Each structure stands twice: as C-alpha cells, then as structure tokens.
Structure 1
Amino acid sequence: MTEVAGESRQAQKGRTRQAIMDAALQLASQHGFAQISLRQVARQAGVVPTAFYRHFESMDQLGLALVEQSFSTLRRMIREAQRDPKVLDNIIDAAAEVLVESVKVSRTHFAFVSRERVSGSVVVRQAIRHELDLFVSELAVVLARLPNIETWSTEDVQMVSRLFVRNMVSNAEEVVETPEGRTDLEEQIKDGARRQMRLIVLGFRAWES
C-alpha cells in the first residue's frame, strides 16, 4: 500500500512539474521567457510560488528544463535519419518529412527554441547553443557513413553537419510561422528543405578534405 501511495505522489509531482513547464511555455509565447516572473508562472500553473521551488530552484533552471525537453524532438529526428543511412535520397526525403511533422507535434517547443535562441536570457541561449552543438555531433556520426564522406576529416564532417542543422533550424522556424491547417505551405517547406539539402549534397564529391 505504501508503494502505491508513493507512486501516486510521484505521478502527482510529475504532473505538477509538467504543468509549470506548460505554463511557462504559454507565457513565454506571449512575452518571451526572460520577461516572465516566477509568480506569473506559478499563477498560470495553478500552484503557489512555494510549490514552484519544489520542482525548480530558479527561473533559469526552469528555462534549462524547457530547452532539454524541446530538444528531445530533435534527437528523435536523428534516430529517424539513422533508419536507412545507406540511401541518401531516403535520408533527405525522410528528414524533410520528419522535420515538418515533428514541428507540428511540438510547435510550442520549437517556437520556444526559435525565439529564445536569439532573444532569451544568457543561460537559456547558451543551453540552446550547447544542444545544437550536440545535435551537430550526433548528425555527424550519421553523415560520416555516407558515400564520398567516409574519408573526410572530422572537422569537415562537423562542418557539413552544421550546414544541415542550420538548414533544419531555418525550415523549422518557417513551419512554426505557418498557420495550422495550411498543408500547401507545409509541402512548400518540405520541397524547399529537400532541394536545399540536395544542393549541399551535390558538393560532396567535389570536396577535398
């Protein structure tokens, strides 16, 4: 009975923590994360300020948790790309599809990253930059297996990986700004993403590392 009660308390704690994070995302979408206060977040989440401190030591820690949660979607995109790393066209087509669908599912998180990476607090901006660097490194592992790249230096693989990530971030931001239900605009973004990635790929054979 004690274990059940413990599990119940843990589940409730998890729900409260998520409610605080959801409240922060909602408020940040209106005012920017750096402009909202702990009390505003607590009020929006329906908890007292003291309850906030049971989950986060500060607003900076809350911001870091939001960054980590937001990038979990990007990590899933890497796993999608790893499904068939030997067929380049499949990777490009899958990446464009997964990009748009992932943003649609986690629009508020992508909007948070898009906004805060240029206008957020120093702590949040640095965390986003760090996560993007990790994403570049993870993608580089996939790219290093592709034809014409396997002999490249580590620095050059990282360089082309960063090009792909910047492309993905740019297109993700376009999806965030696209009105919901506009599948025609989503298809345009997918097509543009495919063309941009193929343009990068065209330089693979000519590049001498």
Structure 2
Amino acid sequence: MFTMIRKTRSHRRRGEETQIPGDGRDARKQRTRRALLDAALQLLEGERSFSSLSLREVTKTAGITPAAFYRHFSGMEDLGHALIEDSFASLHQLMRQAREGGLPATHIIRASVTTFLDYAGAHRAHFRFIAKERFSGSSALRMAIRKEIRLWIGELAVDLSRFPALGRFSADDLQVLAGLMVHVIIAATELLLDTPPTDRAALKRIYRDAEKQMRLVILGAAQWDSSRSKSG
C-alpha cells in the first residue's frame, strides 16, 4: 500500500494539470493550454525558430507530461497555429475601435499607429514569433500568418470604403491602399521589436515615423484616380 501511495505522489509531481479545490475542468484545461503556449514563447526567446522546438522540451518547460500535450494540440504545427491565432486574437477588434468614432483622418491615423504599436510592445514575445516565422517558418505557418495579414487588410479596406473621400476608389484599389498602410505598421513593429523598451527616444521616433508614413500614403491616395487603374 505504501508503494501505491508513493507512486501516486510521484505521478502527481509529473502530472499535467494541478487540481485546485473548486477549480473547474474547463478552467484547468485552459490553464494548461496557456502554459504550453507560454512555454513555446519562452523557448523562442533569442534566435531560435519554432521548427527547432521539440514537443518534449515544450512540455517540460510547461510542467506537463508529453502525453498530456495531445489533449490540447494534435502536434507542434497545431501549437504553432494556435500561437499565430493568439497573437492576433484581440488585435482586430482593437484596430477597428481605433478607426471608429467619426474622428478626423489625422486622429484616426495616430490612434491606429498607437493602438497597434502599443499592443505589439505589450506582446513582444508573440510578435517576435510572428516576425521570425513570417519568412523562415514552415510553409503552413507562413501561410497562416499571411492569412491573418490578408484578413487585417480586408477589414481595413472595408473601413476605408466608408470614408467619403475614398468613396470613388474601386474595391481593388482600396485593398492596395489598405495593404500599403498595413505594411507600414508591420515595418514599424519590426523596428520596435529590435528596440529596448527602455529606449523611449527611439520608440518615440518609431511611432512618429510610422504616423508620418501613413499620412504620406493617404496624401498620395488622395491624388489617385481609381478609374485609370483598371486594366484589360
């Protein structure tokens, strides 16, 4: 009997989900899933790529057994997709809110730049992962990231179509304009990730330059004749 008790205690030390009195099963499951995501992000600090991570080291860092991993993800690629979704989870709604409210265009540009870069700065680990995997990750993860960016561009294009000054733009041209604006923000985010959070002067320049670039894009768009862009 003593042996059975000792084995049970040993199993609990290696267990995948510590049970807390009154804690529901769904809450434990979400906590374990979160631990796996956080463990992967922790291991990705520095120059490591997602493809270099092993399931065993992720579960070890998260404090769960390798077998328990499959209760949450079908494999490492599934974990990578979850990290991408997690990175963009709240961003779409935040950006939409920044563009609402009937504010002047200059205020909307500033609000959009500030909202995105503040979010990226508060979630550096997520966006470092996105920046690395966007070009050097597996084809499946690269495609997933592109899908999120296309979704973001599409949402922005719809919002831009509501501005009277852009009402004459074709749907294709609105997509191009939205793409230019999104890629300005992506470039600014990559600069932000390489800048220490304590370097306030450098961060201020990144925000300022991104806002200026966005304004220049809008000023150029104001001179564009969408009817002439149609080909064939």
TM-score range, shorter chain: over 0.9
Superposed displacement of residue 111, structure 1: 1.0
C-alpha contact 1:84 1:90 (8 A) present in aligned 2 = no
State the Cα RMSD in Å.
Answer: 1.7
Uncovered stretches (5+) of structure 1, i.e. residues with no partner: none
Superposed displacement of residue 87, structure 1: 1.5
Counterpart amino acid of residue 148 in structure 2: E
Secondary structure at the aligned position of 1:179 is classed as coil
Counterpart amino acid of residue 8 in structure 1: G
**RCO higher in structure (CA 8 A, sep ≥6):** 1
* CA deviation profile, 1:75-119 (whole Å, cap 9, x unmatched): 134223332355101111111211221112111111111111011
- State whether structure 2 residue 79 is matched by structure 1 residue 57: no
Structure 1 runs of 4+ with >4 Å offset: none
Q: State the partner residue of 1:32.
A: 49
Counterpart amino acid of residue 70 in structure 1: S
Once residues 143 and 200 of structure 1 are traced to their aligned partners in structure 2, the CA distance between those partners, rounded to angstroms, is 13
Q: State the partner residue of 1:108.
A: 125
Once residues 210 and 152 of structure 2 are traced to their aligned partners in structure 1, the CA distance between those partners, rounded to angstroms, is 18
Q: TM-score of the superposition, structure 2-length normalised?
A: 0.84
- State whether structure 2 residue 29 is matched by structure 1 residue 13: yes
Q: Percent identity?
A: 40
Pair 199,26 (structure 1): closer, same or farther in 2 beyond 3 Å = same
C-alpha contact 1:171 1:193 (8 A) present in aligned 2 = yes
Once residues 198 and 83 of structure 2 are traced to their aligned partners in structure 1, the CA distance between those partners, rounded to angstroms, is 26
Secondary structure at the aligned position of 2:43 is classed as helix
Pair 7,154 (structure 1): closer, same or farther in 2 beyond 3 Å = farther
Q: State the partner residue of 1:166.
A: 183
Pair 175,73 (structure 1): closer, same or farther in 2 beyond 3 Å = farther
Once residues 91 and 115 of structure 2 are traced to their aligned partners in structure 1, the CA distance between those partners, rounded to angstroms, is 10
- State whether structure 2 residue 193 is matched by structure 1 residue 176: yes
Once residues 211 and 83 of structure 2 are traced to their aligned partners in structure 1, the CA distance between those partners, rounded to angstroms, is 29
Once residues 140 and 44 of structure 1 are traced to their aligned partners in structure 2, the CA distance between those partners, rounded to angstroms, is 41
* CA deviation profile, 1:153-179 (whole Å, cap 9, x unmatched): 100000000001111111111111110
* CA deviation profile, 1:93-146 (whole Å, cap 9, x unmatched): 111211221112111111111111011111111100011000000111111122
Counterpart amino acid of residue 15 in structure 1: R
Q: TM-score of the superposition, structure 1-length normalised?
A: 0.93
